[in-house]
Structure 1
Amino acid sequence: MKKIIFVLFISIWVLSACTEETSTNSIKTGDMGDLISSTIENAEKHDVSKFEEYELESVIDGDTIRIKYNGSSEKVRFLLVDTPETNHETLGEQPYGPEAKEFTKQLLAGLDTVYLEFDVSYRDKYKRLLAYIYTKEGISVQEQLLKNGLARVAYIYDPNTKHVDWFKSIQKTAQQSAIGIWSVEDYVTNRGYDKDVYYAAIKNGNQSNIDEDKSNTNNNKGSCEIKGNINSKGNKIYHMPGQRDYENTIAEEMFCTEEEAKAAGFIPAKQ
């Protein structure tokens, strides 16, 4: 009897610990099925007839899958979005990383194939394929990750910018609604995700406390106007207001001073 009571105590303690660890996430595991069902039912269905269909092998994380491409198994990185990490060698696991992976996994569950819409350039510097991902029903995976606050718009590199305006409009709505990654102010940064800020906010009970006006100011870094962009050759260039290509430059990062830009590894534009 004592042994049974001890086992029950340990079981309850483990379950309590797991509950406490995951209680900061607004998308609970039990809610994911309902979220996926709602997404499939209500998502806009896009025409995929002109896209290329490939065999789906696996989901690696929220923004990466593996497909069979021309007879080889290859990774596909989702264009223009970035989800929190799940098992990064230096960053570790970031809040909402597991949720983003589970969302992508369940959205593609049961599918043997996916449809890929390529932009101008097919691969990144790591030789991974780059594409916009759709289900056979025409659901955009990137659109739904952004809509549900599980990804940010990022890695905006010319010439692959076809859907950047569309994605930014979706992100803005999620940000204003303070859902998912946007539920904690300053968790999302221009360089990725700051989990220290996230856990500090949770500890102080400040989740879902985004003030819209303040958030917009923070995300634009106030009056910071120096645009950092990575060109097709992988060179980090920053552009100052008044320079020839400034208005046409899509910023990957914004800086307040030239010193800040240089510290991040960017060099000044020639004109």
Structure 2
Amino acid sequence: MFVLRWLVATMVLTIGSAFAADILVIDGDTIELGGTRYGIHGIDAPEPGQQCERVGGGTWNCGAAAVVALEQIVFAAADVRCDTGKLDEYGRIIAVCWADGVDIGQELVRRGAAWAFVKFANDYVADEGIARAARAGVWQAQTEAPWEFRERRWSASGNEAPDPNCPIKGNINNQGEHIYHPPWSPVYGRTRISLEKGERWFCNEGEAVAAGWRPAYWGRRD
């Protein structure tokens, strides 16, 4: 997700909780509980289409692994809940989330499945240090941080879009769902936009959400 997602607009006064049947994993740091979307506070996970450097050379799909790590945590829990948080401009509540009392963000950082997002919070800096020392996950070799990955993919996407400042693709799938794909989406390159079908381009994720498009789901629902 684009770094601006962490900008906050208003305070949300409810606490969300759910059993597994009400949970949807969207990406490595975003879940839905009973239809309410939560961004996990204080972390930044690899994007679903992101590759990370492997110890000894080569790369591995750290973005997909981050989604699996989040699935393992939430679907193994009897109860998943998110604390009171703030609403960002994309309609997500940014909050600390828990799985059977385990801080999900902390657990992901300790596994090396996410970075401590120190631009916005320092809660998990010590936990990142533990993962670094153990060379866990993304720390097994020097690799590109997700915010750097997003910036690079955004900069490289302008040649395809009619307006280089508006490269997000608003696609309508065969089921009629309106789904947007930023340049770091795994399917961005093979997604084609048909203006005749009502598909369109967006300049940022907030604009896409306001127009009725949703992000793609890269995890599973239980």
TM-score, structure 2 length as denominator? 0.50
Q: Which has the larger radius of gyration?
A: 1
More helix by share: 1
* TM value normalised by structure 1: 0.42
Higher relative contact order (CA 8 A, sep 6+): 2
